[in-house]
Structure 1
Amino acid sequence: MGVSEDVRRRAALHAALGEPVRLAIADRLAFGDASPGELGAALDVPTNLLAHHVRVLEEAGVIRRGRSEGDRRRSYLRLALDDPRVARLTAPLPTPRRAAADQTGSSAERVVFVCTRNSARSQLATAAWARVSPVPTASAGTHPAPRVHPRAVRIAHRHGLHLDAAGTARLDEVVRTGDLVVAVCDNAHEELAGPSSRLHWSIPDPAPLDTDEAFEAAYQLITERVDRLAHAVHTDALPA
């Protein structure tokens, strides 16, 4: 009886992550996506060395790369969370809320999900968050649409969530000091470049395809991230 393929796969993942810089990259991507430039700046790693470690992680299937929907030039790296083995190996340990917030650079009194139009991805993320976490949440758009996309409402209802079809809002009307802002689209992330109290989830916009399948795929990517972040934000440290 030889070594199973699953064991070989797990060994390859352990080998890829068994180096300090590569483990630090996985830790940096635990809660949000990042471009190679953002990773290099955060970890203070030279460009050529970072490229080597990123290539090893990509070849091992730990991370994936996608092209920005915003400027179309930069790329973003994300953990392959749809692989249960990667999700388990890179899962952040549960921490007090304040400690989890420190990892994202924010006190995280509230989580605000942001996309350009506030009509689909940010709405689905807020609804998904409210179902799994008592931490307050809200959504907003950098350039909000007049209403929530009907397919987003339909997908939310399919999963037992409620969306207010008229409930869109501007970011500057919603965000306040102490919020952890999660940009769930590339355009919003690139427009808001600067604040440290922000995460980025590079979720493809389902609106151009305008199919239930595209909205369902966006919902699944969002809930993967929501569940991971909510798990790290431990409720016993909620402020009084």
Structure 2
Amino acid sequence: MPSSGQVSAPPPFVALAAHPVRWRLMAELAGSDYRVRELVTRLDQPQNLVSYHLRLLRDGGLVTATRSSADRRDSYYHLDLDRCARELAGSGTALHPALRTSRTPSGPPLRPRRGRPVSVLFVCTGNSARSPVAEALLTLRSAGAVLTRSAGSRPRDHLHPDAVRVLRERFDVDVSAQRPRHLDDVADESFDLVVTLCDKAREICPEFAGPVRRMHWSIPDPAAAGGVDAQGYAAFERAAEDIDTRVGHLLPVLATTRQREGDP
């Protein structure tokens, strides 16, 4: 901390986040992954300006980009919330040692809901890897407080063996008896949130009845890394780690949303 009378430059995170356009980009990406043209529409700003500020956020390590599996000419942008939390904590410490924090900020605890529980649907193409992993991890992390389902636009005949394995070995969750389900099988159900994990599935995911919130997690298909071998399994480990991180970020969002609805 600088001594009295000294003037120092703000920490890099503060300098990055303080710009109005970059802050709005971060706010949008905190809720979902988006493509540039979608961010242009949401911010109502010129594309060259949005791209410029996205590049600065990427250079600062706050935003990452993945090539869309639906259109390789496109990319989805994702905000690294864990990195933001670390940088925010460091910025506070730079101002005063009393502002040091050793834990990641979190929202209120997620408790079982009175009446109908909050419900989340995870969607990908085959419902054999990413979406069932997300379903299992949200069920685990919420301790049953969230009614969680998954489905696919073109479901496979069975779950991918490495998806079953990674859940068993890393999270002690057994989904070996689960079978992929089609989106048609859940069309009549009500959901508070629909999360697509596949860029292709996002393009064709149907509308659901009621005020359903939509969110997109652009996660590469781990099955595209190869067959059931060491190299392919590593891709499933990476995907499961990414999904688990995002599920952890989703929990306080669900709790906060439920509090706004008047459910303690």
TMscore range, shorter length: 0.7 to 0.9
More displaced 10-residue stretch of structure 1: 124-133 or 193-202? 193-202
**In the TM superposition, what are the counterparts of 1:39-188 in structure 2 within 5 Å?**
39-81=39-81, 84-88=82-86, 94=107, 109-133=118-142, 134-158=145-169, 159-175=171-187, 176-188=189-201
* TM-score, length-scaled by structure 1: 0.81
Q: Partner of 2:26 in structure 1?
A: 26
Structure 2 residue aligned with 1:216, among 216, 234, 237?
A: 237
More displaced 10-residue stretch of structure 1: 117-126 or 53-62? 53-62
Letter in 2 for 1:205: D
For these two proteins, the number of residue pairs brought into alignment is 222
Unpaired runs of at least 5, structure 2: 3-7, 89-103, 111-116
Give distance in 2, aligned partners of 1:45 and 1:109: 35
Give distance in 2, aligned partners of 1:126 and 1:162: 12
Give the secondary structure class of the aligned counterpart of 2:173: coil
TM-superposed deviation, 1:37: 1.0
8 Å Cα contact 1:112-1:138 kept in structure 2: yes
> Whose Rg is larger?
2
Structure 2 residue aligned with 1:200, among 216, 220, 237?
A: 216
In structure 2, relative to structure 1, the CA distance for the partners of 1:193 and 1:52 (3 Å cut) is: farther
Is 2:244 the counterpart of 1:233?
A: no
Letter in 1 for 2:131: S
Give the secondary structure class of the aligned counterpart of 2:146: coil
Give distance in 2, aligned partners of 1:95 and 1:42: 28
Unpaired runs of at least 5, structure 1: 3-7, 98-107
In structure 2, relative to structure 1, the CA distance for the partners of 1:73 and 1:191 (3 Å cut) is: farther
TM-superposed deviation, 1:193: 7.9
8 Å Cα contact 2:202-2:216 kept in structure 1: yes
8 Å Cα contact 2:158-2:179 kept in structure 1: yes
In structure 2, relative to structure 1, the CA distance for the partners of 1:162 and 1:96 (3 Å cut) is: closer
Give distance in 1, aligned partners of 2:109 and 2:166: 32
8 Å Cα contact 2:119-2:190 kept in structure 1: no
TM-superposed deviation, 1:88: 4.3
In structure 2, relative to structure 1, the CA distance for the partners of 1:207 and 1:231 (3 Å cut) is: same
8 Å Cα contact 1:30-1:92 kept in structure 2: no
* TM-score, length-scaled by structure 2: 0.75
8 Å Cα contact 1:31-1:225 kept in structure 2: no
Give distance in 1, aligned partners of 2:242 and 2:28: 18
8 Å Cα contact 1:182-1:201 kept in structure 2: yes
Cα RMSD (Å) of the superposition?
Answer: 3.0
Give distance in 2, aligned partners of 1:18 and 1:178: 35
Q: Partner of 2:91 in structure 1?
A: none
8 Å Cα contact 1:128-1:223 kept in structure 2: yes
8 Å Cα contact 2:62-2:83 kept in structure 1: no
